[in-house]
Amino acid sequence: MGEPRPYRSTPVFDQDSLPAALRARHDTKTGVWGVIRVIEGELKLTIIDPPSETLLNPGNPGLVLPRQPHFVTPLGRMKMQVDFYDQPPGG
């Protein structure tokens, strides 16, 4: 059995095209895991419950659990993409 594959991915966003909806509090749906992959630069992932902040970069993706409220903040120039899974992604 191989690594779970995303069933959907967002476009690649940069610091200017990152939608306001992702910069404000939002959450994934029931049964959906999100993996935030930074292609270049840095991005801050803020999880609201339980509270945490994580600095994301190309070597450190961020995992969002189903129905977990969160938002992201670009830290200067960056490019990122979100992959969505219907089962817990590995790694």
**pLDDT in the model for residue 3:** 80
Give the residue carrying structure tokens 């903040």.
73
Q: What's the pLDDT at 66?
A: 97
pLDDT tens digits, one per residue of 22-76:
999 999 999 999 999 999 999 999 999 899 999 999 999 999 999 999 999 999 9
**pLDDT over 80 at 91, yes or no:** no
pLDDT at 90: 75
- Compute the average pLDDT of residues 82-87: 97
Selected from 3.90.1580.10, 2.60.120.10, 3.40.50.620, 2.60.40.420, the CATH number assigned to the domain covering 15-85 reads: 2.60.120.10
Q: Two tokens at 68? A: 């977990």
pLDDT value at residue 1 = 57
